[in-house]
Chains A and B, each alone.
Chain A
């Protein structure tokens, strides 16, 4: 639906934006290679000296974009695909909120950290990013490619580290924002630092009446909700060498939901509630100039309950209670061995618990791990980083994850990066322990690999409950972790002071992907499912980012990702002439060729963005205009061959345009207005998380001492 009139209005918008330009001082939007990053190596390094593809999203960009939640800002970054409640399968999208794909790997293969600590509360493997307010974020670091050598399970496609405000200065901020769909956001934050102590707090309430994209359905596309985020962080300096920081976070959300179940009227309703509490003390001690050590503790408890009742007789229709606990103690020690070597050592223990209505009983896992990394700078202009991590988990086999990365500076204008890393993802609780019999609906049942029992199946067969045990049942064994090997190769060029470009080629090979298979046929014809390590896949492509400073006040940046993905088993079956498909829904089946294969579902082959930021400190006006494009992506498999090949199986390409305009009144007040999704591009079925055109206005107050 990207027709000519849309292209015309896009050009018009750009020209309006560019005509804002005048000559003045430097803009703060350009990212310096001197900026300090931490995520790629778990040590503070200059961005230009990191051998692993890393991007920074600064607070300045976040504010200028007028974003509210984490998914808003991340979806505007190159190579990031926000999945949204459609698609399924082990390597598909997932039906649980706004997840994230990096380098074409699905949300359950991406690690999300908050101040370096993992977040929990994934559902169906997906971490819903809209849970996270961004008013307390200082910056976001995005590391692409496997980083399991430092972070362990899930860090397969990459790591996103949300870094909150540092404990410094004396400041108070407050703001209110109001927008379409009665979306209201209120926040306050403050910083106080004394001689030995420092405190930071952030409080936020966000609510919305939700929206409706498809008028033909009785249910809303997004149901009304409200949520609260509280964040208190404090530090105490025992001595110049010893410091304690305690990070505490609380999140609560409430969302109503209503459905018309087997009826032409809304007849069932209830709500979903999330509670998430984190306590995270970090003790840092400098033994000497060369040795420093950190003890980190993490207590994180997450609970999600959903309840649906019949509205006429209050009879319970659905109830789900999911409780997860994550408890960790970890040490990391950094040692400057000599001028050429920095050694990082670490180790820890994690206890994870899950208790839900869909498991037989409370389940727990114990994880022990250790990691080592050395950075070597023995030759001028060359940095070599080697790392290794060992994970031992009581529920599955141990895993060793190596990584090697090289950064070579050819001259001041050209730098090369190359890295190889192993990634893994432990079988998650659901894949191990799910014990779910859908008595009410289709009558299927699904068992985690640890809950699966051949004896029980055979007993049920004798009792006549099971008609047939399928050969796949004999494959069910202890689940192995999903594993990947990732290569990244790229370069950064800075031919002009005002222009910078980065290119990165990547390839990830993933084995042992876990998927569910029918293992038996119930007497009523429905299936019994369980999980096996079965699929093999790859993702490969290239990512390009460039930024250019125009007229000093305008920063133009753009990015592009080309992505190819495949389920290797399907590719082989196509080669062997075993895969059929249809060209149109009611057409004839024909043999599929490699050219028909579109890769894994929920992946766009082309993704691009163009972002213009204008900032004139003298007049106080600033503005942004951002274009985000995704080519079409497969969402359905109507002909049972495992991929999208007919037009009906794809979600169409989409171009999102977001714009903001701000005015700094004096040092204290800033007023911002914005339009998101200017072109009103929506897709109720496959992108329900993207609302139609919407407006907002916000006032921010800052008091600095």
Chain B
């Protein structure tokens, strides 16, 4: 008898637990953003981005946890360790953005020194002539500066001249800025699900 009850109780409990698991967390909102960054590989500021606001962060806030990552030309820096006061980390997974349903528990990398950065160009784009193309199916998974999770894909990259026109790959003109179209989903609750 006791046994039967305890099985029943366990079953009820299990049902309740699995019900609770099926309760979706606050869905992460998916947004796209045209992230226009400094086009010089060596000179000038990085441009900073925050997942929480889905927008750029002023360079004056670079010594804060208001930003998660920043870019200049094609270089990423991550807000932690060598690059910032935050606790951000990143990894690139070979799964299309839509299919990344949860952020991995471990495996996040950060910039260990100025020259040892978490993300290398060859991880996420191919270089063809003077232009580079983000590789489809590569998804960046971030732990943000404040320990939330976000996923991101770079959809396109266009080199722009000083007046904002797209430069052709064969143009001898040096890009003044690079326009990245990014898509990202941010999980504000601190959960790893997207």
Contacts and interface: CB of A to CB of B under 8 A. Distances in A.
A580 B156 contact: no
Interface in A669-686: 685
B174 A262 contact: yes
Interface residues of A, number: 53
A86 interface: yes
B74 A525 contact: yes
Most chain B CB atoms below 10 A, which of A259, A442, A579: A442
B126 to A, nearest CB: 5
B116 A580 contact: no
B163 interface: yes
Given A442-B73, A525-B73, A470 B174 contact: no
B126 A525 contact: no
Interface string A566-588: 00000000000011111001101
A637 B173 contact: no
Given A86-B170, A589-B97, A637 B128 contact: yes
Contact of B121 (A440, A527, A641): A527
Contacts, number: 130
A639 B73 contact: no
Interface in A525-559: 525-527, 529
Contacts of A518: 121-122, 127
A466 B116 CA distance: 9
A19 interface: no
B41 A95 contact: no
Contacts of B115: 464-467, 523
Interface in B72-124: 73-76, 94, 96-98, 114-117, 120-122
Chain B interface, DSSP helix/strand/loop, else mixed: loop
B172 A523 contact: no
A216 B115 CA distance: 40
Contacts of B135: 580, 639-641
Contacts of B156: 585-586, 638
Contacts of A14: none
B176 interface: yes
Contacts of A378: none
Contacts of A441: 41, 174
Contact of B174 (A440, A524, A526): A440
Interface string B173-186: 11010000101000
B128 A89 contact: yes
Contacts of B183: 586
B188 to A, nearest CB: 23
Contact of A580 (B75, B129, B137): B137
A262 B162 contact: yes
A468 B111 CA distance: 13
Contacts of B174: 261-262, 440-442
A580 B165 CA distance: 29
Contacts of A642: 126
Contacts of B155: 582, 585-586
Given A525-B121, A580-B96, A264 B163 contact: yes
Contact of B116 (A88, A262, A467): A467
A585 B133 CA distance: 12
A89 B130 CA distance: 11
Contacts of A261: 172-174
B75 A640 contact: no
A318 B183 CA distance: 38
A521 interface: yes
Given A582-B155, A639-B136, A641-B136, A524 B42 contact: yes
B129 A521 contact: no
A582 B96 CA distance: 10
Nearest to A516: B127
Nearest to A641: B136
A582 B121 contact: no
Contacts of A526: 41, 73-75, 121
A701 to B, nearest CB: 41
A85 interface: yes
Most chain A CB atoms below 10 A, which of B136, B168, B170, B183: B136
A443 interface: yes
Contact of B126 (A86, A465, A470, A637): A637
A442 B165 contact: no
A637 B133 contact: yes
B97 A588 contact: yes
A147 to B, nearest CB: 30
A589 B133 CA distance: 14
A589 B136 contact: yes
B15 to A, nearest CB: 35
Contact of A523 (B73, B114, B122, B133): B114
Contact of B173 (A95, A260, A443, A444): A260
Most chain A CB atoms below 10 A, which of B138, B163, B165, B173: B173
B120 A525 contact: yes
A264 B173 CA distance: 12
Interface string A582-600: 1001101111000000000
Contacts of B134: 639-640
A467 B25 CA distance: 40
Contact of B122 (A464, A466, A470): A470
21 contacts: A216-B165, A262-B161, A264-B162, A441-B41, A442-B41, A442-B73, A442-B130, A464-B115, A465-B115, A518-B122, A525-B74, A525-B121, A526-B73, A526-B74, A527-B127, A582-B136, A589-B98, A638-B133, A639-B133, A640-B135, A640-B138
Given A521-B121, A525-B117, A579-B137, 15 more contacts: A85-B170, A217-B165, A259-B172, A264-B162, A467-B115, A521-B120, A521-B122, A524-B41, A580-B96, A580-B137, A582-B136, A582-B155, A589-B136, A637-B133, A640-B134
- Which 4 pairs of residues, A with B, have the shortest CB-CB distance? A580-B137, A525-B75, A640-B135, A523-B115
Interface of A: 85-86, 88-89, 95, 216-217, 259-264, 308, 318, 440-444, 464-468, 470, 518, 521, 523-527, 529, 578-582, 585-586, 588-591, 636-642, 685
